[in-house]
Chain A
Amino acid sequence: MRNLTDTELAARVAQDIPDGSYVNLGIGKPTHVSGYVPEGREVIYHAENGIIGVGPTPAEGEEDLELIDASKRYVTPAPGAAYFEHADSFAMMRGGHIDIAVLGAYQVAQNGDIANWATLDNTFPPAVGGAMDLVVGVPTILVMMRHINRDGSPKLLRECTYPLTGLGVVSRVYTDLAVLDITPAGFKLVELTAGNTLDEVQALTEAKIHT
């Protein structure tokens, strides 16, 4: 099997973000997407903790300890950036002002359900953050994740088994093995990572992949 690395996957997602978009990147893998915007496009990144226009990482020694993104990484303001408080930040998200959100997930179901805040392990504290607000307010929800769990179990399912973050909200899923759209029929293949066959990817996917 040919697996995209996290940075290759981020670069792939970045290809699909149009010029002029306002984008929220979830914590973890999705934060890498901002490093791969194709030349000539201006994309404005929103971080839920109160900045729109998230710029590059500061040079070492130039960090401002009170200027971070949602992943708690030090950032800089891009030209045209603004700071604001939390109620305004979530008005941007819930109120439909952000165009695209890229999220990580534990599980995605064929009907577009997403689970990314809690597991079935009661000793593991749940942590929802801004995910439930994003999935109800942002029209395009892209998910970026590994195709399967470390133990080999599938993450692309007929139905999620973990508690849901949102119902029927995912537009497209990018994994290390394939890109899949959510359609009324279920998962539909957009592309396979070069070197993989549909049969190989289907074998690692619980839900049916339509072509």
Chain B
Amino acid sequence: MDKRLPDLASAVAPITDGSVIMIGGFGSSGIPFGLIDALLEQGARGLTVISNNAGAQETGIAKLLKEGRLAKVVCSYPRSPGSIWFERRYEAGEIELEVVPQGTLAERIRAAGAGIGGFLTPTGYGTLLAEGKETRVIDGRGYVMESPLHADFALLRAENGDKWGNLNYHATARNFNPVMACAARHSIAEVRHLSDEPIDPERVVTPGIFVHSVVEYGVRP
């Protein structure tokens, strides 16, 4: 088995127009900037992106927004310092937004990867974000029924990878990357170091079974 690919372009080649894509990262940490640039180059449009933020300045997801490639963003915190392209598209009504509480976003992604059909969370109960959703009261406490969030592709950023697709991460660049790896039909990781040697099993954070291709992209933003 060898999941290594020679370059970013071949890694994003399978992505088609209208795909639902999870993109790891929080702020500027753990974002697969190399894969996003390659996706931009590749040209797919009408995409739905699931990610915590909606990009800042003209980097990462903001570039995809600037070039009009996205139809919808699912995220917890689209409004960050410098999120000008999201704000511009949103104000112009050019982008659909689904705001999900961050823990619910992580858990919906986790549920998809773990084969869970839905779950009850107290988060958002009684608020606007629970409107129209099934609710239940258990032992006097209100819960909202949330559904799994699947994707066609996940774009991930990791520190180390091996040819089996095993990954580990650096510091707070881990964030959404491990849960997203499990939830997409096809997960693509850019890694800072791609090794011929297997990663020590004790140091694997994302087992390779969740990862479909790995490509080296040494630059750390």
Contacts and interface: CB of A to CB of B under 8 A. Distances in A.
Interface of A: 47-51, 64-69, 72, 77, 83-87, 89-90, 93-94, 118, 123-133, 136-137, 163-167
A66 B175 CA distance: 10
A167 B144 CA distance: 14
Contact of A90 (B28, B102, B169): B102
Contact of A118 (B81, B106, B109, B128): B128
B172 A49 contact: yes
7 closest Cβ contacts across the A-B interface?
A90-B103, A133-B103, A72-B27, A66-B173, A86-B106, A132-B101, A67-B171
- Interface core residue of A77, A84, A86, A125 (most chain B CB under 10 Å): A86
- Main secondary structure, interface of A, reads loop
- Interface core residue of A72, A87, A167 (most chain B CB under 10 Å): A87
A160 to B, nearest CB: 11
A136 B79 contact: no
Nearest to A67: B171
- Interface core residue of A51, A64, A130, A166 (most chain B CB under 10 Å): A130
Contacts of B99: 126-128
Interface stretch (B118-126, B132-140, B208-216): B118-126
Nearest to B182: A87
Given A72-B28, A125-B79, A127-B77, A93 B170 contact: no
Contacts of A125: 78-79, 86-87, 90, 97
Contact of B80 (A65, A72, A132, A167): A72
B171 A128 contact: no
B203 interface: no
Contacts of A137: 122-123
Contact size range, B: 35 or more
B78 A87 contact: no
Contacts of A85: 174-179, 205
A133 B104 CA distance: 8
Nearest to A165: B127
B29 interface: yes
A164 B76 CA distance: 16
Contact of A128 (B28, B77, B80, B169): B77
Interface in B57-109: 76-81, 86-87, 90-91, 97, 99-104, 106-107, 109
Contact of A66 (B30, B109, B127): B30
A51 B172 contact: yes
B26 A50 contact: yes
